[in-house]
Amino acid sequence: MSNRPERTFVEGFGRALAQGELHMVYQPKIRLDCGALTRLEALVRWDEPELGPVEPSRFVPLAEKHGLIGPLTEWGLRRTLNQWRAWRDQGLDTNVAFNISAVSLQRLDFPDLVERICNELDVPTERLVLELTEGATQPLIKLMDTLTRFRIKGIGLAIDDFGTGYSSLLQLRQLPFTEVKIDRQFIRDLPDAHDCCVIVRSIVDLAHGLGLTATAEGVETVEQLRYLRTIGCDVAQGYLIARPLEADALAGWTAEFDQRWPELTS
Ligand code: C2E
Ligand code: CA
Ligand code: CA
């Protein structure tokens, strides 16, 4: 897509939103103490008719630049919360995490919009966690008002890709986050790289010291998972556990993972 003019992108993306070329997939996060599903992170996909699947890292930044992130966010959030209700009706009691672009956070009324959508779709706000990227949200402290509004409404806040952006430890202390997601570049070389072990252990301790949930992303090997359990990391997500799933694949995955969990931890 990089060699196509951006104007073509804007037209194509408008069509994608209107004509249903976008869909959401959902990646499980599990509790490391017992293997139970704790929530699902919603990730957007674009099936472009000519190009095939286009990755979000290629089109989300362009949507931000061309004023299309608002419609994308609202569409994705509605889709995700509707899916939460469908799972609940099938007896799958879970929570959802949704990625928010820093651009959306510039709008002071954004927390009200999210709450309104939750109410409209009859989803308790406590079931939703928003994932924010520390690099993109810099300077975080300017968002204090907006972030506090989300927390007052009962919505959880995760700091995504932790360790790669600009945020200082002081900001982590001052801002009302509920979860820290340790970036997968620190997880990748566990447990062999001593420096990564030290960093990950420190972030887990830091998170716990501040009363936050520590989540490891990008968990791909059994050794990584076992190490994370030994240091008391709370939650894990990654290809070892599950790739992002189509909504209707969740029930099958749950049954399969329940069987696999004892092998992963023995
Ligand atoms: P992210 O929030 O850090 O999401 C995690 C990305 O890592 C996802 O890529 C996921 O498929 C991938 N991943 C998960 N487990 C593993 C693993 O074990 N190994 C490896 N190598 N990768 C893994 P994806 O779906 O391509 O999303 C990329 C980024 O695009 C996301 O990074 C997020 O920042 C953004 N994004 C995705 N969906 C949305 C959305 O609906 N709205 C916004 N604003 N941004 C989104
Ligand atoms: Ca995320
Ligand atoms: Ca991440």
Name the residue with the closest Cα to ligand 1, atom 42: 99
Domains in the chain and their CATH numbers? 3-265 (3.20.20.450)
Question: Which pLDDT does position 5 carry in this prediction?
Answer: 66
Q: What is the 37 CA–ligand 3 centroid distance (Å)?
A: 18
Say whether pLDDT at 135 is over 90.
Answer: no
Q: Supply the mean pLDDT for the chain.
A: 92
Question: Strand 52-54 to strand 96-99: parallel, antiparallel, or no bridges (unpaired)?
Answer: unpaired
Q: Which two tokens stand for residue 261?
A: 């969990």
To the nearest 5 percent, what fractions of the chain are helix, strand and coil?
50, 20, 30
Give the residue from 134, 132, 184, 183 showing the smallest Cα distance to 155: 132
Q: For residues 11-19, give the mean pLDDT.
A: 85
Size of the chain, expressed as the number of residues it contains? 266
**How far is 3 from 13, CA to CA, in rounded Å?**
16
Say whether pLDDT at 53 is over 80.
Answer: yes
Q: Which residues surround ligand 2, an ion (CB under 5 A)?
A: 99, 131, 160
Instruction: Tell me which of 12-16, 24-28, 164-168, 201-205 is least confident.
Output: 164-168
Enumerate residues lining ligand 1, CB below 6 A.
Answer: 27, 43-44, 55-57, 60, 76, 99, 101, 131, 160-161, 184, 218-220, 238-239, 244
In the 3-class helix/strand/coil scheme, how is 72-137 assigned residue by residue?
A: HHHHHHHHHHHHHHHHHHCCCCCCEEEECCHHHHCCCCHHHHHHHHHHHCCCCHHHEEEEEECCCC
Q: What is the 260 CA–ligand 2 centroid distance (Å)?
A: 25
* Residue type (1 letter), 140: L
More confident residue, 143 or 253: 253
Q: Among all ligands shown, which has an atom nearest to the Cα of 57? A: 1
Say whether pLDDT at 137 is over 90.
Answer: no
Q: For residues 52-77, give the mean pLDDT.
A: 92
Name the residue with the closest Cα to ligand 1, atom 10: 244
Q: Among all ligands shown, which has an atom nearest to the Cα of 24? A: 1
Q: Write out pLDDT tens, residues 143-153.
A: 889 999 999 99
pTM over 0.85: yes
Whether the ω angle into residue 191 lies within 30 degrees of 0, i.e. cis, is: yes
**How far is 230 from 208, CA to CA, in rounded Å?**
15
- Best residue for ligand 1 mutational test, from 43, 185, 215 (most atoms within 8 Å of Cβ): 43
Strands (E), the chain: 22-31, 37-48, 52-54, 96-99, 128-133, 156-162, 179-182, 213-216, 235-236
Return the exposure string of 188-207: e unless at least 16 CB atoms fall within 10 Å of the residue's CB, then b: eebbeeeebbebbbebbebb
pLDDT band at 255; cut points 50, 70, 90:
very high
What atom of ligand 1 comes closest to residue 220's alpha carbon?
A: 18
Say whether pLDDT at 74 is over 50.
Answer: yes
SS3 call for 146: helix
